[in-house]
Amino acid sequence: MHPKDLIQQAVDLGLDGIAITEHGIRWPDDKFAELRRLAEPQGLILINGQEVNTYSRQNGTEGEFLVFGVKKSLGADLPAKELVGRVKGEGGILIAAHPYKRSRLNRELRLKIAARKQIHDKLHGSKELLDRIFTAIHICIVYLDCKFNYLHVNRAYAEICGQSESFFPGKNHFDLYPHPENKTIFRRVVQTGIPFWELSKPLELPAFPKSGTTFWDWSLHPLRNGRGLVDGLLYCLVDVTEQTKAQEALRRSEEEMRRLSAKLLHAQEQERKLIAKELHDSIGSNLVAIKFRLEEQVENMAEGCPWAPAMEELASLAHQTIQETRAISGRLRPSLLETMGILPTVDHLCRQFRETYTHIRLTPKIDIREEDIPQGLKIVLYRILQEALNNIARHAEADLVRVELTRRRDHIRLVIQDNGKGFNLSETLARPDPLTGMGIGSMRERAHLAGGSLSVISAPGHGSIIRAIWPPSAD
């Protein structure tokens, strides 16, 4: 710009003066004198100076400074400390225009770079750790893209496939191992983003045909990108062949135990039935005959016969023995169950209980038809009710008992509840009743073998509830 134009522009803007600064140089005195001559009539103040950029190897660019009162050009890229010394030595004035601006930016940049490098090192260390875990872990891990191409597999997966880890990347999972059902599952996980699990899935390993069918817990997890879209799959497999086979062996063993227990209970009931029949038909009949003969002899004795009281006592004892024999026979196998069915037998058992234990009020509720109860379940119902009532009479100290035998649409239910002193269930289960040979555990076993379940609720001071449930088809 021409000096006249510069002066006129300053006047037009209403400035008080002009500071002349160039980067690294000072205006020559003759040119500055000519500019001053033009400015003085306009009342403008002129200052001749220069602008200096400072730089050091340690900090890089340190900032920009304005220098006045120094007649020679100072150049550029001086260290800030050196510039200060030279200006003061010349008696000049030094003003910071942008002090250490770039230096601060450079330091911040270096700090950011250092922080990024630290993060990078940590990430690299984490990646190495993950790679070691990925390699060492026994779980088979596969990383696939959305088209089911292998991106990465670990050693465990490669070994079960009989290949090296480098064999898989770039190949398609279902080209190597076709499986339409699994492919549908993989597609669904990609489309919905919902993980999939399956336990003990049977699998035959192509690389190890002699192994036969193996079993695996496997899962499929969608991997999402920064936009939340599924862009990969994590496929994990855990070999549970030994556990599955052990569980199957245990299941078969338990089934065999239940079958043997059912046979044992059946044999026990048949033996009880036979003993009850023998007591009734043989011993019972003989006792009745003895009683009648004794009574006949008493009637034929002459009045005042010294043997008469003894014979009467024997006849009474025979009668008592007959009653006890019938009671034992009934407990072994109630004849009423064979002739009339379970409902009259339950009613008879409840009535006998009330007659024997007059201080206990028993309220039965029967809401089921005889034909609704499977034949094989009838003796089970009787034995559980018989044992429960015996236990209440001997141990509960109750004065109220409620018995329910009902049929609902989906089950047959037997409930025996009392308001007695209750008991600690875990302690009772640990010591079954040695007198009856049929504690709670045995009642549960009977219920289970008949296709149902039995639960007990009790606590000291709160009575007890025995609840047994069977499906209508139980037998």
Is there a single domain that holds both residue 350 and residue 327?
A: no
Is there a single domain that holds both residue 345 and residue 461?
A: yes
**10 phi, psi to nearest 5 deg:** -65, -40
Domain annotation covers residue 370: yes
Tell me the CA distances in angstroms from 44 to 11, 13, 19, one per residue in order.
Answer: 8, 12, 11
Is there a single domain that holds both residue 388 and residue 471?
A: yes
Among candidate residues 213, 211, 218, 261, the one with its CA nearest the CA of residue 237 = 218
Is there a single domain that holds both residue 232 and residue 156?
A: yes
Directed axis angle between helix 440-449 and helix 241-278, to 10°? 100
Residue 290 or residue 475, greater confidence:
290
Is there a single domain that holds both residue 357 and residue 300?
A: no
Which tokens go with 391? 């236990």
- pLDDT band at residue 31, thresholds of 50, 70 and 90? confident
Distance CA 371, CA 349 (A): 20
Distance CA 192, CA 188 (A): 6
Res. 145: pLDDT tops 60: yes
Tell me the CA distances in angstroms from 447 to 216, 239, 371, 468, one per residue in order.
Answer: 35, 37, 19, 7
**CATH code, domain carrying 229:** 3.30.450.20
Is there a single domain that holds both residue 92 and residue 143?
A: no
The per-residue DSSP string of 408-468 comes to: ETTEEEEEEEE-S----HHHHHHS--TTTS--HHHHHHHHHHTT-EEEEEE-TTS-EEEEE
Which tokens go with 154? 């670990």
Is there a single domain that holds both residue 179 and residue 294?
A: no
Tally of CA atoms within 13 A in the half-sphere of 308 that contains its CB = 9
- pLDDT reported for residue 435: 40
> Mean pLDDT over residues 202-223, rounded?
82
Is there a single domain that holds both residue 193 and residue 322?
A: no
pLDDT in tens, 98-123: 555 555 555 666 677 778 888 777 77
Q: Parallel, antiparallel, or unpaired: how do β-strands 400-408 and 361-367 relate? A: parallel
Q: In what order do the strands lie in the sheet with 196-204?
A: 150-153, 140-144, 230-239, 213-224, 196-204
Is there a single domain that holds both residue 280 and residue 356?
A: no
- pLDDT band at residue 40, thresholds of 50, 70 and 90? confident
Domain annotation covers residue 246: no
- pLDDT reported for residue 410: 83
Give me the chain's average pLDDT, please.
83
- pLDDT reported for residue 443: 86
Res. 143: pLDDT tops 90: yes
Res. 285: pLDDT tops 70: yes
pLDDT in tens, 148-198: 999 999 999 998 888 999 999 999 999 999 989 999 999 999 999 999 999
- pLDDT reported for residue 173: 93
Residue 106 or residue 8, greater confidence:
8
Residue 189 or residue 429, greater confidence:
189
Is there a single domain that holds both residue 343 and residue 472?
A: yes
Distance CA 399, CA 384 (A): 20
Domain annotation covers residue 125: no
Is there a single domain that holds both residue 71 and residue 175?
A: no
Residue 315 or residue 411, greater confidence:
411
Tell which of 48, 71, 99 closes a domain.
Answer: 99
Which residues, other chains included, contact 92 with Cβ-Cβ below 8 Å and sequence gap of 6+? 67, 68, 69, 70
Res. 349: pLDDT tops 80: yes
Residue 140 or residue 77, greater confidence:
140
- pLDDT reported for residue 220: 94
pLDDT in tens, 352-394: 899 989 999 999 999 999 999 988 898 889 889 988 998 999 8
Among candidate residues 386, 288, 373, 282, the one with its CA nearest the CA of residue 330 = 386
Res. 434: pLDDT tops 60: no
Domain annotation covers residue 23: yes
Cβ atoms of residues 68 and 48 within 8 Å: yes
For tokens 């199957």, the residue is 248
- pLDDT reported for residue 107: 63
User: Which one-letter amino acid corresponds to residue 463?
Assistant: G
Cβ atoms of residues 374 and 473 within 8 Å: yes
Cβ atoms of residues 366 and 405 within 8 Å: yes
Tell which of 333, 359, 384 closes a domain.
Answer: 333
Res. 92: pLDDT tops 80: yes
Res. 59: pLDDT tops 80: no
- pLDDT band at residue 436, thresholds of 50, 70 and 90? very low
Locate the DSSP E strands across 157-239: 196-204, 213-224, 230-239
Name which of 30-44, 272-286, 294-308 the model is least confident about. Answer: 272-286
Cβ atoms of residues 51 and 73 within 8 Å: no
- pLDDT reported for residue 437: 40
- N residues, the chain: 475
How many domains would you assign to the chain? 4
Q: What is the CA 25 to chain-centroid distance, rounded?
A: 79
pTM across the whole model: 0.46
Is there a single domain that holds both residue 25 and residue 92?
A: yes
Tell me the CA distances in angstroms from 437 to 342, 387, 395, 433, 443, one per residue in order.
Answer: 23, 10, 16, 6, 10
Name which of 219-233, 253-267, 293-307, 433-447 the model is least confident about. Answer: 433-447
> Mean pLDDT over residues 131-158, rounded?
87
pLDDT in tens, 309-337: 888 888 888 888 877 877 777 677 777 77
Tell me the CA distances in angstroms from 301 to 154, 293, 313, 314, 366, one per residue in order.
Answer: 106, 12, 14, 15, 53
- pLDDT reported for residue 146: 94
Q: What is the CA radius of gyration of the chain?
A: 52
Question: Where in the sequence is the domain holding 12, given as residue range(s)?
Answer: 3-99
